[in-house]
Structure 1
Amino acid sequence: MAAAVRIGRTRRFAVTLGKVRANHTSALKSQYDAIVIGGGHNGLIAAAYLQKGGLKTAVLERRHVLGGAAVTEEIIPGFHFSRASYLLSLLRPHIYQDLDLKNHGLKVYMRDPHAYTPMLEEGVGGQLPRSLLLGGDLAKNQQEIGKFSQKDAKMFPAFLTHLEKLASAIHPLLDAPPVNIPGVTQGSLRERLAALKSLKPLVKSGMRLGRNIPDFYELITAPILKVLNRWFESEPLRATLATDSVIGAMTSPSSPGSGYVLLHHVMGEVEKEKGAWGYVEGGMGGVSKSIASSARSLGTDIFTEQDVGQILVGQDGCAKGVVLKDGTEVRSKVVLSNATPYVTFRQLTPQDALPEDFITAINQIDYTSPVTKINVAVDKLPNFLAAPNTADGKPGPHHQCSIHLNCESVDVLEAAYREGQRGHPSSRPMLEMTIPSVLDPTLAPPGCHVVSIFTQFTPYWLEGGRAWTDEDREKFANTAFDWIDQYAPGFKKSIVGKDILAPPDLERIFGLTGGNIFHGAMSLDQLYLARPLPCIADYRSPIKGLYLCGSGSHPGGGVMGSAGWNAALTVLRDLRRG
């Protein structure tokens, strides 16, 4: 019998990987060199590099568990969920090596194949319904694509090569702050010459692109459908690729700029395999646990259940530390916020310390989110009509993939988007389903599995501007389960518990403004020089000594770590200069 685990009533079962109620090395001090607000992966990475740079650093996390959205929680007894973020790929290799994360417990299960799209159709002539299975074997990929189009099968290798060239050209931009426009255009000749160094990553990226610059420009500005239509003719392939162009974004394949979201999702690597995505052992909390372990080994103090109420700003207009909600003051030379820009500047910063036009600009940042995350515990492996389970019950290759449901046609994705735009949760939602327990047995009891369902499109406010109710959550979850049942009959009956996180729940639990998993839309007007705003794209705020270090700053969302790394290096440079 299915047993719903209600939002806000799961705390008594929240046994969490890497949980820390107090730092095991010392009590919270009244003075630090640096304070990091928020123990998400970027905040932990920033803290580790600050500590390596010689600053005594403390991380203050509001929740009972470290990791921000990269957490593992035992919502249902015996079942350990990657409750929000659920896959690893984008973590920058130099951070992985610098912080020695492997020796601090990070283990990743590689997935191959990695994408599975079953068709919702009747089998013909006694055959099974068709499906598309993509992985690391190019010949097998072509064979799979050939079921739908021989022309597309021939084009696919060239498309991958093309996409990899564009993605690899971005890497220099990830590991450095955006170009220092004020520095290059203002100040003394000496200051301008020094600022010219900030152009180096951009020049390097341009040189890597070379004659592909026009293609890169088109990909990041055009609707991804326009690009895919030029390469491919088969619906299942175009729709499967288009899914990565809208994941986490309130956009459709026919919306301008959707191409960049696709590029953002293919530019990572796992264990030196480009474009790969993997499951972290023990869930995504394993990433945060390993980073925290590394940071502690360097001397960082890390605390949970320490809720920051306000950033202290002195009469000189500089950040002086923080005040916790219990009234405790903790002083520091610098403060880094891993919270969203909205939370940082509208909820934590004294408003009279900020210019009015800056506050107006902060209010206009787009945090629109289409995502409802559903975590499900099941007592048996899903059995797909297009790939029936074997008699021995062992998982098939497709079970380890990102399973794309309601994604065999671009028209289906477009229709789901349009419903979400009108304030209605999609009646045929886009579903990305993963079953990490098929590779990681630590997540569920024997014979059982944890299932992550990343769904779109669901608005923050429902029709008429009303808030979500428990009834709305149940109704939408049942819609998703009914669709899964059409692809894998019996799925709904196998559910033993569920955790439904609509956009307002993602905001309330994880501090994700608007429920946006990227700390702000990854649209062209909110990237690079404009992330989150042109005036603070270099991690520095209008308040001296206050910095952003989260995904709301360059280069954006995903468990990447670049924002934390770049912010920490910016702080260290500023302190050296005095």
Structure 2
Amino acid sequence: MLEEGAGSKVPRSLLLGTDMAENQKQIAQFSRKDAQVFPRYEEFMHRLALAIDPLLDAAPVDMAAFQHGSLLQRIKSLSTLKPLLKAGRILGAQLPEYYEVLTAPITKVLDQWFESEPLKATLATDAVIGAMTSPRTPGSGYVLLHHVMGGLEGMQGAWGYVQGGMGALSDAIASSATTHGASIFTEKTVVKVQVNSEGCVQGVVLEDGTEVRSKVVLSNTSPQITFLKLTPQEWLPEKFLEKISQLDTRSPVTKINVAVDRLPSFLAAPNAPRGHPLPHHQCSIHLNCEDTLLLHQAFEDAMDGLPSHRPMIELCIPSALDPTLAPSGCHVVSLFTQYTPYTLAGGKAWDERERDAYADRVFDCIEVYAPGFKDSVVGRDILTPPDLERIFGLPGGNIFHCAMSLDQLYFARPVPLHSGYRCPLQGLYLCGSGAHPGGGVMGAAGRNAAHAAFRDLKSK
């Protein structure tokens, strides 16, 4: 933290982990009252996550089938109500309070629980990360919930690094698939979903003209690419296409990958004599987050087309846990900066000069917290929202394919009346982050889409 009037005092920091007693001790630096309340807040949020979590692993209620389908289709659609009913039973009499968490600005919710800004801002970061939204925006509470749901090896809300980098996860999935008989082809650009004269999918066409025949096609590209670029428009309802084209894909994220020749040493928690990673090096590090007003001001800058002078920075050092990622003594630092505008004010473009200027500004911010950081940098890779769009095919640079706002979730993901995985075109399924339940390293959208495809194939 940077604190005005601290003088020569060692800067304070807030470190939260799995030890509740230690968490309370950390929070008590800023408010004893908040330290006492924190366990109740965690239990409150845990109960909400427990109720919502089953909804992630089930298809949303099929409102189209319920309203317009046959009697059998309507009966089947009722089964999708079970997770919703279960959620209602878990939340019980507190349902109105939980409804407020999902619909109100997260600042309103946190103000009801806590008084210290460092704690509120720390918690609020999970309500805005990856979303072009302010902590003062209604509905930002759900984004926070999305980031605290799930778990790792039985530990609720825990996160982990993939040994060898995120690509190792893809390799593991590929290995499992080929073991079960799958054939995998990469660097084979798909240019069109092929449709027969009866309006059913019959495969895809590759860039080199090769036709791959199949009764089903599962697409994990964004909804806009799947339906506006790859699928023949004449087979899709005009209203559906209009809704897809209107999806909110705004993204505030710039990703900066950094190679450093030593571990960052923060003023609030200096490195050990031999430079071995300490607990705070092994988790998410948030900078420029001393209070929620800072987050809101950075959001307003981005809405005006201006990269903030104090952007929210989430910094991770995966090599602190996985030494295979960097040479001995060196490290890789993964930076997410929040509130970068896709379109710059004044007609400026995100060219190399603008990218470097922005990265320099981010590094200047880090330098204030961790002197010597800039001198330790030996390489960097800067990915602004337009770069994320161009390289990874993410419209708007949105890492979730489209916004995780309440108007684009559950019943309405990707669009109202066409939620879930089945598309207006028979045999085409959406299985990426643009489908329910949205983005995140969990595979729920793909799993649910696969089950939908299996059920349809068996019913033929």
Q: For the superposition of Structure 1 and Structure 2, which TM-score range results when normalised by the shorter chain?
A: over 0.9
Distance of 2:311 and 2:272 partners within structure 1 = 29
1:473 aligns with 2:355: yes
Q: Aligned residue for 2:302?
A: 420
Do the aligned partners of 2:204 and 2:212 also contact (CA within 8 Å) in 1?
yes
1:370 aligns with 2:259: no
Alignment of 1:35-434 (within 5 A): 118-120=1-3, 123=6, 127-434=9-316
CA separation in 2, counterparts of 1:183 and 1:330? 31
Unpaired stretches in structure 2, ≥5 consecutive residues: none
- What's the CA shift for 1:396? 1.5
Quote the residue 2:388 is aligned against.
506
> How far apart are residue 513 of structure 1 and its match?
1.1
Matched residue type, 1:424: L
* Paired position in structure 2 for 1:546: 428
- 1:426-478: CA deviations, max 9, x gaps? 11100000111111100000010000010011111111454311111001000
Letter paired with 1:376: V
Task: Report 1:433-448 matches (<5 A).
Answer: 433-448=315-330
The structural deviation recorded for 1:319 is: 0.9
Mapped contact 2:191–2:230 kept (Cα < 8 A): yes
The 1-side partners of 2:347 and 2:95 are apart by: 43
What CA distance in whole angstroms lies between the structure 2 residues aligned with 1:438 and 1:190? Answer: 55
Distance, in Å, in 1 between the alignment partners of 2:14 and 2:85 is 39
Residue among 444, 451, 458 paired with 2:340: 458
Shift of 1:212: 2.5
Structure 2 counterpart SS, 1:552? coil
Q: 2:215 is paired with a residue of what secondary structure? A: strand
Can you list the C-alpha shifts for 1:104-132, whole angstroms capped at 9, x where unaligned?
A: xxxxxxxxxxxxxx3455655x5411111
Task: Sort the Cα spacing of 1:121 and 1:449 in 2 relative to 1 into closer, same or farther, 3 A.
Answer: farther
Is contact 1:120-1:487 (8 Å) kept? no
Quote the Cα distance in structure 2 between the aligned partners of 1:576 and 1:392.
61
Distance 1:524 1:265 in 2: 15
What letter corresponds to residue 182 of structure 2 in structure 1?
T
Shift of 1:540: 1.1
Match for 1:531 among 396, 405, 413?
413
By relative contact order (CA 8 Å, sep 6+), the higher-ranking structure is: 1
Is the CA contact 1:179–1:202 (under 8 Å) kept in the aligned structure 2? no
Helix, strand or coil at the partner of 1:404: strand
> What is the root-mean-square deviation in Å for CA atoms of aligned residues?
1.2
Amino acid at match of 2:321: L
- Looking at structure 1, the residues matched to 320 and 345 of structure 2 have their Cα atoms a distance apart, in angstroms, of 38
For 2:420 and 2:364, the matched residues in 1 are separated by: 46
* Secondary structure at the counterpart of residue 283 of structure 1: coil
Note if contact 2:15-2:23 (Cα within 8 Å) is conserved in structure 1.
Answer: yes
Return closer, same or farther for 1:208/1:432 CA change in 2, 3 Å cut-off: same
Aligned to 1:564: 446
Per-residue deviation at 1:412?
0.9
C-alpha distance in structure 2 between counterparts of 1:123 and 1:277, whole Å: 33
> What CA distance in whole angstroms lies between the structure 1 residues aligned with 2:69 and 2:240?
23
Counterpart contact for 2:152–2:160, Cα < 8 Å:
yes
C-alpha contact (below 8 Å) 2:253/2:384 kept by paired residues: yes
> Which amino acid counterpart does residue 355 of structure 1 have in structure 2?
P
The one-letter amino acid paired with 2:200 is C
In the alignment, the residues of structure 1 paired with residue 301 and residue 260 of structure 2 have an alpha-carbon distance, to the nearest angstrom, of 29
Secondary structure of the residue aligned to 2:14 is strand
- Structure 1 Cα separation of the partners of residues 347 and 81 of structure 2: 45
Counterpart of 1:247, as a letter, is I
Name the CA distance, whole Å, in 2 between partners of 1:187 and 1:479: 56
Amino acid in structure 2 at the alignment position of 1:199 = L
Judge conservation of contact 2:64–2:417 (CA < 8 Å) in 1: no
| Contact 1:425 1:457 (C-alpha < 8 Å) held by counterparts | yes
Structure 2 contact 130–252 (Cα < 8 Å) conserved: yes
Would you say the 8 A contact 2:64–2:418 is kept in 1? Answer: no
* C-alpha separation in 1, matches of 2:252 and 2:10: 33
What amino acid maps onto 2:325 in structure 1?
L
Q: Secondary structure at the match of 2:432?
A: coil
Q: CA deviation at 1:538?
A: 2.5
TM-score (norm 2): 0.98
Preserved CA contact (<8 Å) 1:381 1:448: yes
8 Å CA contact 1:121–1:130 kept in 2: the answer is: no
Could you tell me how far apart the structure 1 residues matched to 2:67 and 2:282 are? Answer: 51
Q: Where is the helix percentage greater, Structure 1 or Structure 2?
A: 2
Report how far residue 522 of structure 1 moved. 0.3
SS in 1 for 2:92: helix
